[in-house]
Amino acid sequence: MSDAPRDTQLLEKVINLAKRRGFIYPSAEIYGGFRSTYDYGPLGVLMLRNVKNAWWRSMVQLRDDVVGIDAAILSPPAIWAASGHLETFTDPLVDCKNCHGRWREDKIDGQCPTCGSRDFTESRAFNLMFKTQAGPVADEGATAYLRPETAQGMFTNFANVLTTSRKKPPFGIAQVGKSFRNEITPQNFVFRTREFEQMEMEYFVAPDEDEQWYRYWIDQRLDWYLTLGIPREQLRLHEHAPEDLSHYSKGTTDLEFLFPWGFDELEGIANRGNYDLTAHSNASGTKLEYFDQVANERYTPHVIEPAAGATRAMMAFLLSAYHEDEVDGDVRSVLRLHWRLAPHQVAVLPLSKKPELETVSREVLGLLQPHFMTDYDVTQSIGKRYRRQDEVGTPYCVTVDFDTLTDRAVTLRDRDTTEQTRVAIDELAGEIWRRTSQL
Ligand code: ATP
């Protein structure tokens, strides 16, 4: 972590906006809250889904070498024994001897964040996996874990996917879904929570091609955030020094974002060698190999893994998109979200509640809904409604006014330039498509 924050109040502002406008609420609020869990509201669920869809589009839809899966969250101990998680998926835990607060030793610089004491217990390894039991009998055989990452689903299904998809290296398996970690100190809003969503892809390659694909995926992943609007100066690549790598890793690069507290991890891209497939092969007795018919040789593929957090990425997109600017002498807050990520792409706003305007407005709404997530708002003045849409990042507003009744045209307003253009109703969906496809 380093570098000065952009705006000392940015985090506060975004958390407030998220709550006030229905992006992210603290969980179980009516019962006093449940620490570090969050619920995604009407706008948040749309945006989070858009983040995941944008990832899926780039990683699966636009490629012919990556397929998807959706594996179970509940999993048997055997998976986590083989992967090494039972033994090593731990963080160093210390107790403050003065106030008894519990902390992750590597995050506190030797001083208790609550009381300032420097007197701690010896650090001990705290396993981050949530353990539970499957079925009514609580014996050892019933132990199950909530997955702490989605990646193992790709390794355990490697042979299934290989035979059913008929892919051959280089190819990837992608998955988006919930993961759970009993984090010692969840913090910074949805940056670190105990329940979160991941977007991970395991890319299987021939052993001598791993370095080239590792570099390729670092570039691809950086591009993804840039294309979706995060400025280059808010992103940084941090390559781990060889001595800091985990025992199996041949290279790891963190893709970092400039959070309000400094640069911090958004995604990790790792060259994992053949560690995972070898470990599962040995533990399960199932061969996890690829037979290259052309070269007539059998090998265990090496793996390049871009592992991102969907909820953490959503937070970065919100922070990066938040701006305050001046329009017609007023300060407005605006989320300059890429249209793919904005909860609604369009809002239809009848100038007044007169029935004849509502009728044609609903007709316009019906024309747009099959193509775009569309909001509809008749309350308050048109100026206030524009501000409300700006604040939640809606790229286009469509105003239906009295002229519409005679000219069958509407006003299309652009969030970022606030420019307004008259567009025929029949051409509206096409015009919005034309504009968005250029971004
Ligand atoms: P850290 O060192 O910050 O605990 P990590 O390096 O263990 O994280 P990975 O296991 O590489 O994280 O997970 C991949 C991605 O999943 C992270 O880059 C992050 O975006 C996301 N992620 C991991 N843990 C959490 C969490 N507790 N809350 C939200 N997102 C998370």
pTM: 0.95
pLDDT-derived band at 406 (thresholds 50, 70, 90) equals very high
Mean pLDDT to the nearest integer, 21-43: 95
Residue 152: per-residue pLDDT: 98
Whether 221 lines ligand 1, by a CB cut-off of 6 Å, is no
Whether 311 lines ligand 1, by a CB cut-off of 6 Å, is yes
Mean pLDDT to the nearest integer, 173-201: 96
CATH of 10-75+146-318 among 3.90.550.10, 3.30.379.10, 3.40.50.261, 3.30.930.10: 3.30.930.10
More confident residue, 236 or 33: 236
Residue 264 Cα: closest atom of ligand 1: 3
Q: Are 439 and 337 in contact (CB under 8 A)?
A: no
Residue 2: per-residue pLDDT: 40
pLDDT-derived band at 337 (thresholds 50, 70, 90) equals very high
Residue 134: per-residue pLDDT: 92
In 3D space, the residue among 70, 62, 50 whose CA is nearest the CA of residue 310 turns out to be 50
Mean pLDDT to the nearest integer, 32-54: 96
Count of CB atoms situated within 10 Å of the CB of 224: 20
Residue 7: per-residue pLDDT: 73
Distance CA 45, CA 402 (A): 35
Tokens encoding 65: 């070498």
Residue 265 Cα: closest atom of ligand 1: 18
Side-chain half-sphere CA neighbours of 69 within 13 A: 23
SS3 of residue 439 by DSSP? coil
Mean pLDDT to the nearest integer, 328-350: 95
Distance CA 193, CA 327 (A): 37
Distance CA 54, CA 60 (A): 10
Instruction: Decide if pLDDT at 48 tops 60.
Output: yes
Of 237, 265, 266, 317, best ligand 1 pocket probe by most atoms within 8 Å of the beta carbon: 265
Mean pLDDT to the nearest integer, 382-404: 97
65-88 tens-digit pLDDT: 999 999 999 999 999 999 999 999
226-266 tens-digit pLDDT: 999 999 999 999 999 988 888 778 899 999 999 999 999 99
Residue 244: per-residue pLDDT: 85
Distance CA 349, CA 221 (A): 37
Nearest CA to ligand 1 atom 20: 309
pLDDT-derived band at 6 (thresholds 50, 70, 90) equals low
Q: Are 284 and 172 in contact (CB under 8 A)?
A: no
Domain boundaries, the chain: 10-75+146-318, 344-437
Residue 427: per-residue pLDDT: 98
Task: Give the homologous superfamily in CATH for domain 344-437.
Answer: Anticodon-binding domain (3.40.50.800)
Mean pLDDT to the nearest integer, 200-205: 98
Residue 326: per-residue pLDDT: 87
Residue 1: per-residue pLDDT: 40
Whether 306 lines ligand 1, by a CB cut-off of 6 Å, is no
Distance 38 CA to ligand 1 centre (A): 16
Residue 254 Cα: closest atom of ligand 1: 18
Instruction: Decide if pLDDT at 216 tops 70.
Output: yes
Tokens encoding 266: 């958004």
The pLDDT > 70 percentage for the chain reads 99
| Residue 204 parent element (H or E) | strand 195-205
Q: Do domains 10-75+146-318 and 344-437 have the same CATH topology?
A: no
Residue 243: per-residue pLDDT: 87
Whether 38 lines ligand 1, by a CB cut-off of 6 Å, is no
Mean pLDDT to the nearest integer, 105-117: 92
Instruction: Decide if pLDDT at 22 tops 60.
Output: yes
Whether 174 lines ligand 1, by a CB cut-off of 6 Å, is no
DSSP string, 95-141: EBTTT--EEEGGGSTTS-TTT----BPPPEEEE--EEEE-SS--SGG
Distance 309 CA to ligand 1 centre (A): 7
Q: Where are the beta strands (DSSP E) in 232-296?
A: 235-239, 251-259, 262-271, 290-292
Q: Where are the beta strands (DSSP E) in 273-428?
A: 290-292, 297-299, 302-309, 322-327, 330-335, 346-350, 374-376, 396-400, 409-414, 420-424
CA 217 to chain centre: 17
Q: Average pLDDT over the chain, rounded to whole?
A: 95
SS3 of residue 172 by DSSP? strand
Residue 48 vs residues 42, 134, 224, 276, 314: alpha-carbon distances, Å: 10, 30, 16, 30, 6
SS3 of residue 199 by DSSP? strand
Residue 92 vs residues 47, 123, 135: alpha-carbon distances, Å: 34, 6, 32
Residue 409 vs residues 25, 104, 345, 356, 428: alpha-carbon distances, Å: 39, 60, 19, 15, 9
Instruction: Decide if pLDDT at 4 tops 70.
Output: no
